[in-house]
Chain A
Amino acid sequence: MTLSKRIQAALPAFVLSPSLAAIAICVYGFIAYTALLSFTGSKMFAKFDFVGLRQYERLFDNPRWITAVENMAIFGGLYVVVATCLGLYIAVLIDQKIRLEGVFRAIFLYPMALSFVVTGVIWQWLLNPGLGLEHMVRSLGWQSFTFQWLVEPDWAIYTIVIAGVWQVTGFVMALFLAGLRGVDTEILRAARVDGAPVHKVYTRIVIPALRPVFLTAFVIEAHLAIKSYDLVVALTKGGPGVSTELPSTFMYSMTFTRNELGVGAASATVMLTSLAAIIVPYLYSELRDDRRA
């Protein structure tokens, strides 16, 4: 082989290598490092004195972490269910051959362009007990109306759900709308000619046909929920007290303000494992379908 041909043959590997090296180190190397750290007694600095599962025991003995996990279940569960139902409902409405479809779609989707910090700041204003929603409803004449979720420890987590759903629903709608447009219109027409009412056409034919979209929506929503950090920081700072703590905020404060690197690493490892349990099977099936196609 001539030199220039050799260079040509080596080019693809040469082009890929910087990115692959970066991903090998900064994704997989770092995952290994953090996982390793979670088995050490590291406090303020990383030191590799292995203590087995002690950090995990400490993690699950920590009531703050238990609160964070419970909040994740409440927030994640409601976020996924409400955003999926509302997104599907709006998509079905928009699919009824309406006028100004583009305008409606743009209105429902715009929150997705905002950062979680901006979303958190907006909802902190809307839901503040002094001058926000409560004040507005009272000035409309309902004097006894109270809405103090933002400052009530038992209810604050639901404000995160409201803000999160507001932000993501437009995206879920777009997913379902794309799915609805892919449903075979011949089948629908046939069902209507047979006299099936609209709602039955949807519940019996259309929604079952959207099963892959439900899966995609679920994976995206669950992934966003587990990663949620900025929204909580900007909306409630994890408070009142630690009542809106999530695994992500717990990890950050253990690692960077409490000097508990080992516990922080253990919590991050738990987060990664739960997310991987959702993402890996999904990616596997997507890539396998890809190859078959």
Chain B
Amino acid sequence: MTAVPDSNFAMALMRPRSLNPTKMLGRIFVYGCLVVLAALFLAPLASMVMTSLKSMDEIRSGTLLSVPQAPTIEAWASVWSSACISIACGGLKGYFGNSFLIAVPATLISVGLGALNGYVFSTRRFQGDNILFGLILFGCFIPFQIVLIPMAGLLGMLGLAGTIPGLVLVHVVYGVCFTTMFFRNYFVTVPAEIFKAARVDGAGFWAIFFRILLPISWPIVMVSIIWQFTGVWNDFLFGVSFAAGSNQPVTVAVNNLVNTSTGTKAYNEDMAAAMIAALPTIVIYVAAGRYFLRGLMAGAVKG
């Protein structure tokens, strides 16, 4: 190539692959965009953490993203143990416990049932099995408004209205649709020869499930547990519809704390309350983000 005065300009128009200045500019652009976007996505979390550590005076004198000059955990302590939520003034701690009492059994039962259902769907062919599976899948996606009225009636009939076991039941019923899908889609990838060989060796229904299938299924077990736990923990609609007073989950309590308080808004307490409600799922996300993402993807892309 001959050296001409405007060679830089010419180079910029050519294939970026072979020439450096354009490539450099491209890299700067890519990283610049990513850093700006990442900062925008992180800012709400940063503001939440910093605001929860400020006093109201400091909130008024500072800004969204100003670093607390005199950090205090007063807001955290108050919302955890003494803030007034509707009529009770015992803070969030009881509701936080409720969410565990709801989410742990609901997760274990729905994952257990889903594993068994998925096992049957993936190993037995029967008339209409695909239609049946489709009907279960559709159950994953219904707007729950359609079941609120009769479910309230059913819980009343069972004597479970307003209780924690009632909420566990609701979450198990609608969670089973998802866990069945997860396990079925995972188990159909297991080669059929394995089952045949096991059956020839005399292994029965349970032996195949517990000794052969479960030991190779821990990834999907993890995905299902994380999916169900975060789903139940983050639920608001069922909690607000079916749990009464001191049985409410933490999401409902946080909303009551933030949106029904009278007088001036205590944003530091709002942010501390939001942090407390978010902590378990954030911990799961940080510790097992890979499984969290796999659950999201499996919930989105079937088959």
Chain A contacts to B: CB under 8 angstroms: 8, 11-12, 15-16, 18-20, 22-23, 25-31, 33-34, 37, 46, 90, 93-94, 96, 98, 104, 106-118, 120-126, 128, 131-133, 135-136, 139, 166, 169-171, 174-175, 178, 192, 195, 197-198, 216, 220, 223, 226-227, 229-230, 233-234, 237, 247-248, 251-252, 255-256, 261, 264-265, 267-269, 271-272, 275-276, 279-280, 283-284, 286-287, 289-291, 293
Contacts and interface: CB of A to CB of B under 8 A. Distances in A.
29 contacts: A15-B119, A18-B113, A23-B136, A23-B139, A26-B151, A29-B150, A46-B153, A110-B282, A113-B282, A113-B284, A113-B285, A115-B235, A115-B278, A115-B281, A117-B274, A121-B270, A124-B258, A124-B270, A125-B48, A136-B63, A136-B65, A166-B44, A171-B296, A174-B293, A175-B300, A229-B145, A234-B258, A268-B149, A283-B141
A234 B150 contact: no
B44 A126 contact: yes
Contact of B254 (A8, A117, A216, A251): A117
B137 interface: yes
B278 A116 contact: no
B60 A115 contact: no
A33 B149 contact: yes
A267 B124 CA distance: 40
Interface stretch (B70-78, B126-134, B211-219): B126-134
Interface string B234-272: 111100110000000001101100110000010100110
Contacts of A124: 258, 270
Interface residues of B, number: 97
A107 B44 CA distance: 12
With a 10 A CB-CB cut-off, give which of A112, A198, A230, A275 has the most chain B CB atoms: A230
A120 B150 CA distance: 28
Interface in B113-148: 113, 116-117, 119-121, 123-124, 130, 132-139, 141-148
With a 10 A CB-CB cut-off, give which of B26, B37, B254 has the most chain A CB atoms: B37
Given A31-B146, A98-B30, A114-B234, A284 B180 contact: no
B13 to A, nearest CB: 9
A98 B31 contact: yes
B236 A284 contact: no
Contacts of B267: 125, 128, 131
Given A18-B113, A220-B300, A279-B141, A30 B150 contact: yes
Interface of B: 15-17, 26-27, 30-31, 33-34, 37-38, 41-42, 44-45, 47-48, 51, 59-60, 63-65, 113, 116-117, 119-121, 123-124, 130, 132-139, 141-151, 153-154, 172-174, 176-177, 180, 204-206, 230, 233-237, 240-241, 251-252, 254-255, 258-259, 265, 267, 270-271, 273-274, 277-278, 281-282, 284-285, 289, 292-293, 296-297, 300-303
Contact of A192 (B17, B138, B142): B17
A291 B134 CA distance: 12
Nearest to A110: B285
A178 B297 contact: yes
B147 A34 contact: yes
A121 B180 contact: no
Nearest to B285: A113
B298 to A, nearest CB: 11
Contacts of A216: 300-301
With a 10 A CB-CB cut-off, give which of B63, B270, B284 has the most chain A CB atoms: B63
A290 B149 contact: no
A268 B146 contact: yes
B281 A23 contact: no
Contact of B255 (A30, A34, A117, A128): A117
B26 A198 contact: yes
Contact of B41 (A23, A166, A248): A166
The 8 tightest CB contacts between A and B, nearest first, are: A115-B234, A290-B303, A230-B236, A113-B285, A136-B63, A268-B145, A30-B147, A27-B139
A206 to B, nearest CB: 15
Contacts of B65: 136
B300 A192 contact: no
B176 A271 contact: no
Given A113-B284, A121-B274, A287 B130 contact: yes
A169 B40 CA distance: 12
A88 B236 CA distance: 30
B237 A104 contact: no
B130 to A, nearest CB: 6
Contact of B237 (A121, A229, A286): A229
A223 B292 CA distance: 20
A93 B34 CA distance: 7
Contacts of A261: 149
Contact of A293 (B45, B270, B303): B303
